[in-house]
């Protein structure tokens, strides 16, 4: 097998750092390969043969499966394994991962995984064979597509990564005459390899256990159902989205959450031999899309939020949505409901397990925390400065769930959000006869975490109308405008001018295509953190109060600045792909421009493009 090196990087890293990076990639292939939705580990074996033998057998392996069922694939894999000298098998998740084992381990391993595509219409699922050689500190990977007439998920050639301790790491590809290899070559060199090198040098910030995503449901069934729901609800909903929020994020996020819940409830019905579909109540349902999907899939339920959204009028009549301010009390229980849903429910987050516990002994909950709130509606304040607020808050909410008497499962969703760890109150840890004792414990928790506690006599004589916390402050039914429109104009100009001056001072000059021989100061880059250091503290406080912060203000001035991965730079006029598309669709007519070009008016070199190519008025 003839390999050709395509990239090498000097790395002052140990073998254990290399294997740490490989383990991150094995757990999260979707991070670096956006075609992948998830990976399902089929098996891992300790082998007593070299990579040449494995490669030769894999090339001959024929996969006849034309769907996502893995039975036929496993038959072929087992046939392959029978031709190798196998020392021992182990099942995934039942032993220590040899990639993360000690440096003394010098064995060779073969991993077989099934890669599942983000979209099944374009891409084929694939089997991935990863040969791990601990002795030579190298990995070699091969892909075998399952459906031949679709695009592959991974590189079309075999590739290898080898680490030389405290010296360098290099990546090589198997020489091939395949015309499709050029794209794979570019991806391996410019995307995969740099990310692996980055992981080798990064320090883990979390000492807690790592939570893999989609642990509680079948990854393969999730892929199938997600693609079906996306086609059924997502595409049309994005087209008709009437809200001001980004439909590409919010629609597909709710489709993903609905997929997860449907599979979780299917799992529950199988375990408990239930035939009736579960009912639900979504507290703080927002746009109501999750309620719409779950109801359309046959589950009886309703959503409650403190204000109506425009999109509610577009849902069919069987989507039950109610406008109501939820104040936790003896009236906010749902004894006939199977599941309470708290999806980014903000100030109701700590109340979700309480409401589920007090609704009935059979009631369960799904909770996806986002913003951190206490029982009384105050913002949560962390106690440990060494831990992030989100991490500490998640530990706090899990303790609340367990104190409410739930056997609590933790999982990570596949959604376009940084806050994707969820809690599932799967069953009770106490008998139904002990409900009164448990309820007394819950009252003590609420009182301990509230600024104002209920008087003792009120607790002893609680009636249906009594509140569970006299200090709880629900959110206002009128949404506060936080888009920088209320800011003092002078303050905004000061910040814009400060950032502009820094970018010009650290900028690079670029040649102008339309004006040969002339150059233009395209500006440098500055991080959001460094911008904050240039702005007076009282200005920053005003920004946070009015529009959410400095980054929001800069993004609202996207005709001047471009904010990418925490870095601010100029948005060069004429480079807007959206503007070019508008001009193309204009049937030859010049677009009507109303807003003045900031660069033409304020940049020392003026606007770098003629007015006809600029999105703004000169």
Which DSSP category does 80 fall into?
Answer: H
Q: In the 8-state DSSP scheme, what is residue 243? A: S
pLDDT per residue over 406-439, tens digit each?
999 999 998 888 889 999 999 999 999 999 999 9
Looking at residue 470, its pLDDT comes to 76
Looking up tokens 């599932």, which residue turns up?
Answer: 424
The better pLDDT of the pair 212, 387 is held by: 387
Phi-psi region of 11 (alpha: psi -120 to 50; beta: other; left: phi over 0): beta
- What is the model's pLDDT at position 464? 40
Statement: residue 497 has pLDDT above 80: yes
459 CB-near residues (< 8 Å, 6+ apart): 443
Count of residues in the chain: 618
Report CA Rg, the chain. 28
Domains of the chain: 3-201 (3.30.530), 219-449 (3.40.50.150), 489-580 (no CATH)
Q: What pLDDT is stored for residue 339 in this prediction?
A: 98
Structure tokens belonging to residue 614? 């600029």
**pLDDT tens string 235-282:** 899 999 998 788 888 999 999 999 999 999 999 999 999 999 999 999
Task: Kindly tell me if the per-residue pLDDT of 112 is higher than 50.
Answer: yes
| Least confident residue range of 233-247, 382-396, 478-492 | 478-492
* pLDDT grade for 95, boundaries at 50, 70 and 90: very low
Q: Which helix (H) or strand (E) holds 45?
A: strand 36-47
Half-sphere CA count of 232, side-chain side, radius 13 A = 16
Which alpha helices (H) appear in 523-565, and where do they start and end? 528-534, 537-547, 550-556
List pLDDT tens digits, range 179-192: 667 788 889 998 99
DSSP annotation of 329: B
From the DSSP assignment, how many helices (H) and strands (E) are in the chain? 20, 20
Whole-number Å distance between alpha carbons of 500 and 570: 8
Q: Are 570 and 561 contacting, i.e. CB atoms less than 8 angstroms apart?
A: yes
CB 542 within 8 A of CB 581: no
217-231, 385-399, 489-503: least confidently modelled range: 489-503
The SS3 of residue 280 is strand
| CA atoms lying within 13 Å on the CB side of residue 557 | 23
Q: What are phi and psi of 181, to 5 degrees?
A: -70, -25
Q: What are the structure tokens assigned to 204, written together?
A: 């883990």
Query: Element (H or E) spanning 582, and its range?
Result: helix 577-584
Confidence of residue 321 (pLDDT cuts 50, 70, 90): very high
Give the pLDDT of residue 244. Answer: 79
- Percent of the chain exceeding pLDDT 90 equals 37
Please list, residue by residue across 383-394, b when 16 or more beta carbons sit within 10 angstroms of its beta carbon and e when fewer do: eeeebeebebbb
CA distance 77 to 128: 11
Q: Look at residue 402 in the predicted model and tell me its pLDDT.
A: 95
Point out the least confidently predicted range of 74-83, 120-129, 211-220.
74-83
Structure tokens of 526?
């500055």
Cα separation, 87 vs 596, in Å, equals 73
Question: 478 falls in which pLDDT band (50, 70, 90)?
Answer: low
pLDDT per residue as tens digits for the range 522-545: 999 999 889 888 888 877 877 776
Region 367-378: what's the mean pLDDT?
91
Which of 170, 145, 149 is CA-nearest to residue 157? Answer: 145
- Given a cut of 80, is residue 49 above it in pLDDT? no
Task: Say if residue 92's pLDDT is above 60.
Answer: no
599's enclosing H/E stretch is helix 598-602
Please provide the DSSP assignment of 89-152 as one string: EE-TTSS--GGGS-TT---EEEEEEEEEES-TTTB--EEEEEEEETTTTEEEEEEEESSTTSB-
What is the overall mean pLDDT for the chain? 83
- Asked whether residue 76 carries a pLDDT value surpassing 80, the answer given is no
Q: What angle do CA 425, 40, 26 make, to 5 degrees?
A: 105
Q: Which residue has the higher pLDDT, 283 or 93?
A: 283
CB atoms closer than 10 angstroms to residue 447: 18
Contact between residue 526 and residue 502 where contact means Cβ atoms under 8 Å apart:
yes
pLDDT of residue 459: 41
Q: Is the pLDDT of residue 465 over 50?
A: no
pLDDT of amino acid 418? 82
């Amino acid at each position: 097998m003839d390999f050709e090196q395509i990239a090498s990087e000097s790395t002052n890293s140990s073998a254990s750092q290399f294997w740490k990076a490989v383990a991150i990639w094995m757990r999260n292939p979707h991070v670096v390969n956006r075609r992948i939705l998830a990976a399902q580990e089929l098996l891992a074996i300790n082998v007593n043969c070299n990579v040449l033998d494995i490669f030769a057998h894999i090339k001959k392996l024929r996969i006849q499966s034309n769907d996502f069922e893995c039975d036929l694939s496993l038959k072929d894999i087992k046939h392959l394994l029978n031709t190798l000298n196998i020392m021992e098998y182990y099942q995934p998740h039942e032993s220590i991962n040899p990639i993360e084992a000690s440096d003394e381990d010098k064995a060779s391993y073969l991993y077989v995984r099934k890669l599942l595509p983000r979209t099944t219409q374009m891409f084929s699922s694939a089997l991935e064979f990863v040969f791990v050689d601990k002795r030579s500190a190298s990995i070699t990977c091969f892909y075998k597509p399952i459906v031949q007439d679709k695009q592959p998920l991974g590189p079309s050639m075999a590739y290898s990564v080898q680490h030389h301790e405290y010296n360098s790491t290099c990546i090589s590809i198997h020489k091939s005459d395949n015309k499709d290899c050029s794209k794979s070559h570019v991806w391996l060199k410019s995307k995969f390899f740099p990310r692996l090198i980055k992981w080798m040098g990064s320090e883990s910030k979390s000492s807690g256990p790592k939570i893999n995503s989609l642990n509680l449901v079948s990854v393969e069934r999730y892929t199938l159902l997600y693609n079906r729901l996306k086609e059924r609800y997502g595409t049309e909903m994005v087209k008709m989205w009437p809200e001001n929020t980004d439909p590409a994020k919010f629609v597909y996020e709710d489709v993903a959450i609905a997929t997860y819940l449907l599979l979780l409830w299917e799992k529950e019905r199988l375990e408990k031999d239930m035939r009736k579909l579960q009912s639900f109540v979504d507290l703080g349902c927002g746009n109501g899309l999750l309620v719409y999907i779950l109801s359309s899939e046959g589950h009886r339920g309703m959503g409650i939020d403190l204000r109506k959204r425009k999109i509610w009028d577009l849902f069919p009549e069987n989507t039950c949505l109610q406008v109501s301010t939820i104040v936790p009390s003896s009236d906010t229980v749902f004894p006939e409901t199977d599941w309470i849903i708290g999806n980014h429910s903000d100030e109701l987050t700590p109340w979700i397990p309480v409401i589920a516990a007090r609704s009935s002994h059979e009631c369960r909950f799904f909770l996806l925390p986002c913003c951190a709130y206490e029982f009384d509606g105050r913002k949560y304040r962390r106690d440990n400065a060494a831990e992030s607020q989100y991490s500490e808050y998640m530990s706090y909410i899990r303790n609340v769930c367990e104190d409410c008497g739930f056997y609590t499962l933790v999982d990570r969703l596949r959604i376009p959000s940084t806050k994707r760890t969820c809690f599932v109150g799967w069953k009770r840890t106490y008998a139904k006869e002990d409900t009164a004792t448990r309820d007394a414990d819950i009252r003590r928790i609420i009182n301990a975490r509230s600024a104002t506690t209920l008087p003792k006599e009120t607790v002893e004589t609680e009636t249906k109308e009594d509140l569970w916390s006299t200090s709880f402050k629900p959110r206002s039914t009128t949404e506060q405008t936080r888009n920088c429109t209320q800011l003092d104009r002078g303050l905004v100009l000061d910040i814009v001018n400060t950032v502009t001056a820094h970018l010009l001072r650290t900028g690079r000059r670029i040649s102008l295509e339309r004006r040969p021989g002339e150059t233009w100061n395209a500006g440098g880059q500055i991080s959001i953190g460094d911008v904050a250091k240039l702005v007076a503290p009282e200005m920053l406080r005003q920004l946070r109060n009015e529009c959410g912060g400095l980054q929001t203000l800069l993004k609202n001035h996207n005709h001047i600045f471009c904010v990418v991965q925490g870095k601010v730079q100029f948005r060069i006029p004429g480079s807007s792909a959206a503007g070019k598309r508008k001009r193309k669709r204009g049937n030859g007519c010049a677009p009507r421009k109303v807003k003045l070009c900031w660069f033409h008016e304020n940049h020392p070199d003026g606007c770098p493009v003629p007015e006809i190519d600029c999105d703004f008025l000169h």
